[in-house]
Amino acid sequence: MQGFKAIATGFVAGVLIMGAVWLFSSQRSDDGITTSDIAVAEKLAGLSFTQAHRDTMLEGVQDAVEGYRALRELEISNEVWPSVQFNPLVSGITLPETQYPREWDLPQDIVMPENRDDLAFYTVAELAYLIRTRALTSVELTQIFLDRIDRFDAQLNVIVTLTEELALEQALRADQEIASGRYRGPLHGIPYLTKDLLALSGYPTTWGAMPYRDQMIDETATVIARLEQAGAVHLAKVSLGALAWGDVWFKARTNSPWNTEMGASGSSAGSSAGVAAGFAAFAIGSETYGSIVSPATRNGVSGLRPTYGRVSRHGAMALSWTMDKLGPITRSAEDAGLVFEAIYGPDGLDPSLIDVPFNYRADVDFSRLRIGYLETAFDAEYPGREHDQATLETLRELGARLVPIAMPDFPVGPVIQMLNVEAAAAFDEFTRSGEDAQLVRQVRNAWPNVFRTARFVPAVEYLQASRARTLLQQEMAQAIRDVDVYITPSFAGGNLPITNLTGHPTVVVPNGFNAEGMPTSITFSGHLFDEGSVLALARAYQQVTDFHKQRPPGF
């Protein structure tokens, strides 16, 4: 473990010689860089060289600074990928090659409610039945959601850009197609929201940040394009914490409908709060390090964070090329599967995607399914433990045989710093220009400071962290090799940071309410590219519970 301690020391020190030199060189010429500057940088990086070493290094350091300046003359926009890419697969993993027919077992004989406003809390599967049978029109459903946005958004601050004209046009087209016998599938005519880091041609893409408030990107993200092909109706672009951190954006904080005095968490704040408040049937969110799991929990909705390399990020703001993931936020795990079916797979534009079948069966054979649970985490004391224990008992009553497993004992903190370095690179010019001062949050634990600090992470230490990440991937493969799926507390036991680094899929669903009346959640995770098993288990749990059917008071 000495190597990992060295990595940790490097990150805590937080400064590379070249980074320190960059700091000095921002105020002096190359000729002004001296061996004394290198000596100071050594201390900050936890290194020690001789004076002879420094004398030999000096010209190379000066040349490097000149090279930095040359690179900064290039226009490298946020959408440009690094040439080095992350692969979640490790040796020994065999992926399925056959796509079997998916078996959904969708609800039938759904009855229209007396109060049409209640439709805002129906699942995608239930609404799909009503629209397919023409008991409900897409235009009517779209108008119900638009009216609710008009009535309630002032309390929540979810909507960034309402796409009402587009929505009504798409809804009318859906009704005409269905009436003519052209039914595209369960998303046809269903209204949805998108996190405003996804580009939609003709509309601003603000990234939740003041400097980008009027940004127009002349393309449409693959995810949105695929939902349009599925016949879904785009209602609005919704809030995210500025540049995908937290729930505070340039307008205000997004609030949870369960308690409007509390933030919706983030960064998929608007996507989660919007679905919870009945603003749409589903939403698209993103996660780099908890941005689906956390707001889905806070707002009592279901969220799927797919395997890294499953859903195209073309047209999405890049924060971390090796960790960003797009996924659906819905009322149920079943809905998450229906949306995922429409958006997964290669598009020829996102170079990280791997073409693997998505196999799903609604029924769960508990006699054959090996279900792991993170024993030490469930046994510990933490908020929400009683609800998690009740979840385990519910699964046992369904016939589940729970097998104890353990997460890798690994120094994840130093490795997760890769995110900060990649984010700093993605917003390099933004930091150097001083535009970062326009972000609402200017505290230590916010992007402006993190971007600046990450400039001084040694390049060598970044690559060492990447190599350590490979070891973590290998250890994770061993940790779950004897189970098909596994269950963990959403925020205890280390599953959240580990699986965001290794790329494993996760479904988070509500499993109770705390003493303050706020939702709690449980997490189901599984093997790489096996979203089907994870979704099926989460659905089986929701079939015998009703936490996902609860409606926030006042909405």
Tell me the per-residue pLDDT of 120-165, one tens digit each, with 9 for 90 and over: 999 999 999 999 999 999 999 999 999 999 999 999 999 999 999 9
3-state secondary structure of 375: helix
Picking from 13, 45, 74, the residue at the C-terminal end of a domain is 74
Query: Per the domain annotation, does 198 fall within a domain?
Result: yes
Distances (CA, A) of 368 to 97, 252, 359: 21, 49, 17
pLDDT value at 468 more than 60: yes
Q: Is 383 helix (H, G, I), strand (E, B) or coil?
A: coil
Asked about 549 being catalytic, the answer comes back as no
406: its two tokens: 């353990």
**How many CA atoms within 13 Å lie on the side-chain side of 170?**
25
| 334-361 average pLDDT score | 98
pLDDT of residue 42: 86
Pair of tokens at residue 142: 């779209």
Q: Quickly state the pLDDT bin for 43 (edges 50, 70, 90).
A: confident
11 pLDDT exceeds 60?
no
Examine the residue annotation and report whether 195 is marked as an active-site residue of this protein: yes
* Rounded distance between C-alpha atoms, residue 221 and residue 241, angstroms: 19
Residues 480 and 537 in one domain: yes
- Which structural domain, as residue segments, surrounds residue 19? 1-74
In a domain, 439, yes or no: no
Judgement on whether residues 146 and 49 belong to the same structural domain of the protein: no
Q: Is residue 424 part of a domain?
A: no
Query: Which candidate in 25, 239, 265, 267 is catalytic?
Result: 267
Question: What local confidence, expressed as pLDDT, does residue 31 receive?
Answer: 54
What does each C-alpha distance from 14 to 46, 53, 325, 454, 466 come to in angstroms? 9, 22, 27, 7, 16
Of 41, 57, 74, the position where a domain reaches its end is 74
State mean pLDDT over 399-425: 96
Catalytic position from the list 25, 138, 195, 521: 195
Whether residues 33 and 154 fall in one domain: no
In a domain, 518, yes or no: yes
Q: Is residue 414 part of a domain?
A: no
Q: Is the dihedral of CA 497, 507, 447, 383 positive or negative?
A: negative
The verdict on 68 and 216 lying in the same domain is no
Q: Which of 56, 74, 92 is the last residue of a domain?
A: 74
Residues 49 and 122 both lie in one domain:
no
CA distance 487 to 388: 9
Other C-beta atoms lying within 10 Å of the C-beta of residue 402: 18
Tell me if residue 19 falls in helix, strand or coil. helix
What's at 216, amino acid-wise?
M
Q: Within a domain: residue 526?
A: yes
Instruction: Reply yes or no on whether the pLDDT at 492 is more than 70.
Output: yes
Identify any residues that bridge with 198 across adjacent strands, giving them in sequence order: 316
The pLDDT tens digits for 429-454 are 999 999 999 999 999 999 999 999 99
Distance CA 543, CA 77 (A): 46
Best CA proximity match to 299, nearest among 279, 324, 323: 279
Q: Pull the structure tokens for residue 183.
A: 């039914």
Whether 187 is in a domain gets the answer yes
Q: Do the beta carbons of residue 191 and residue 232 sit within 8 Å?
A: yes
Please tell me the predicted confidence (pLDDT) of residue 45. 81
At 31, is the secondary structure helix, strand, or coil? Answer: helix
Claim to verify: residue 55 and residue 126 sit in the same structural domain: no
What's the CA angle centered on 432, arms 430 and 434, to 5 degrees? 70
Among positive and negative, which fits the CA dihedral 114, 117, 118, 122? positive
Reading the block at residue 397, the tokens are 């009553």
**Same domain for 136 and 32:** no
Amino acid residing at 304: L
Contact at 8 Å (CB) between 130 and 136? yes
CA nearest to 246, candidates 274, 260, 265:
265
CATH number of the domain where residue 514 is located = 3.90.1300.10
Q: What pLDDT digit, counting tens, does each position of 80-94 carry? A: 999 999 999 999 899
Domain count of the fold of the chain:
2
DSSP tally for the chain: helices H, then strands E: 19, 13
- Same domain, residue pair 150 and 26: no
Give the global pTM: 0.92
The answer to whether 267 is a known catalytic residue is: yes
Give the whole-angstrom CA distance, residue 300 versus residue 334: 15
> 265, 291, 294, 312: which is the annotated catalytic residue?
291
Neighbours of 13 (CB within 10 A): 17
Closest residue by Cα to residue 520 from 544, 491, 496: 491
Tokens standing for 285?
A: 């969110």
The two tokens of residue 314 are 């073309």
Cis? peptide before 180, omega within 30° of 0: no
**Do 220 and 295 lie in a common domain?**
yes
Is residue 229 a part of any domain in this protein? yes
In angstroms, what CA-CA distances link 228 with 57, 208, 271? 56, 23, 18
Whether 180 and 244 share a structural domain: yes
Same domain, 245 and 310: yes
Q: Is residue 6 predicted with pLDDT exceeding 50?
A: no
- Could you tell me if 20 and 60 are in contact, meaning their C-beta atoms sit under 8 angstroms apart? no
188 and 274, same domain (yes or no): yes
Q: What is the mean pLDDT of the chain?
A: 93
Sheet holding 159-162, edge to edge: 159-162, 233-238, 191-195, 282-287, 325-330, 302-305, 506-513, 519-526, 485-489, 371-374, 402-405
What lies within 8 Å, CB to CB, of 60 at 6+ separation is none
